[in-house]
Structure 1
Amino acid sequence: MPTIDESIDIDVPISTAYDQWTQFEEFPQFMGGVDEVRQVSDTMTHWRTSIAGVDREFDAQITAQEPDRQISWRSVDGKTHEGNVTFEPLGATQTRVRVRTVWEPEGFTEKAGAALGADDRQVKADLKRFKEFIENRGVETGGWRGQV
């Protein structure tokens, strides 16, 4: 199974980066191929994606969430997809965001893309767009400080 591990340093306080990441319905603004994310409950999200011509819908459960530290998830619809995003303070106004995911590609297109490193490049590009999104705003669009 491919494992993706990418990080980026962002020029906002840790609480700003974390709070924005909890706004899952905003993900299409900076994640390529993500058409829609609906927050179904505090611990369940529904995703609609279109990546390299492959359309998917799936549910993901938040399995752990600690404010300003981490958010972990796993798919619950039979697909193998799980991950973790961590937040590390680099000072009062800078944060390192690290995304680690493991997933099982299906079909020729997904397997070829994984073998060629397209997944790593996609996550790296998504993190760069997240950085631009939150740094340009300067403040989060909302936040959820609950713990799972």
Structure 2
Amino acid sequence: MSSSLAETVDIEAPVEVSWALWSDVTQWPKFLSHVRLVEPLDARRFAWQLSLPGADKNFVAELTEVLPHERIAWRTIEGVHHAGVVTFLRLSDTATRISLQIDYDPHGFVEHLGALTNLDSVLAHHDLGEFRDLAETAAARS
């Protein structure tokens, strides 16, 4: 059974600031609560370590599309099935809309429960809020 989620957040930060933070995969553990580590393997591939309730996951993903200041897409090439895309929409010179879409195959009871109860969307919404706080703080410093 495949699951998907989609979440959007508006951020009071220029698209360049939002892009710089999200395009640096090593920053992801700062705002993605379930991500313990993201390690670049080369220019297009990176290893993930996730810590989820009842399950730790490791996998390798590759970037499938990078359009600076517009879009980042990835998919797994080893481990669990997971694919996602983040889009960046310039709302003004000082504001950005971030949209996140993720498709994944839940495995095990906890992951199926998260997909069925919409907990995954709640977590994604929380993480986008963390990203918003990080981007708005970075924008205020610049």
TM above 0.5 = yes
TM-fit CA distance, 1:79: 2.2
Q: SS state of the match for residue 41, structure 2?
A: strand
Structure 2: which 5+ runs fail to align? none
Partner of 1:38: 39
Checking the alignment, whether the CA contact within 8 Å between 1:16 and 1:139 is kept in structure 2 is: no
Cα 1:66–1:73, aligned 2, differ >3 Å: closer, same or farther? same
Matches within 5 A, 1:1-148: 1-138=2-139
User: Matches of 2:88 and 2:59 in 1, distance apart?
Assistant: 25
TM-score of the superposed pair, with normalisation by structure 2: 0.94
Distance across 2 between alignment mates of 1:137 and 1:72: 23
1:90-118 C-alpha deviation (Å, 9 max, x unpaired): 01110000000100000111001110011
Q: Which amino acid aligns with 1:26?
A: Q
**Structure 1 residues without counterparts, runs of 5 or longer:** 141-148
Identity %: 29
Q: Matched residue pairs, number?
A: 140
Distance in 2 of aligned mates of 1:136 and 1:43: 28
Q: Determine the C-alpha separation between the residues in 1 that align with 2:124 and 2:107.
A: 18
Q: Tell me, what secondary structure is at the counterpart of 1:138?
A: helix
The code of the aligned residue for 1:40 comes to L
Greater fraction of residues in helix: 2
Per-residue CA shift, 1:10-64, capped at 9, x if unaligned? Answer: 0111111111101111111111111111011111110001111210110010000
Pick closer, same or farther for the CA change 1:37–1:59 going to 2, 3 Å.
Answer: same
Q: Scaled by the length of structure 1, what TM-score is found? A: 0.91
CA–CA distance in structure 2, aligned partners of residues 139 and 102 of structure 1: 33
Output the amino acid matched with 1:54.
Answer: A
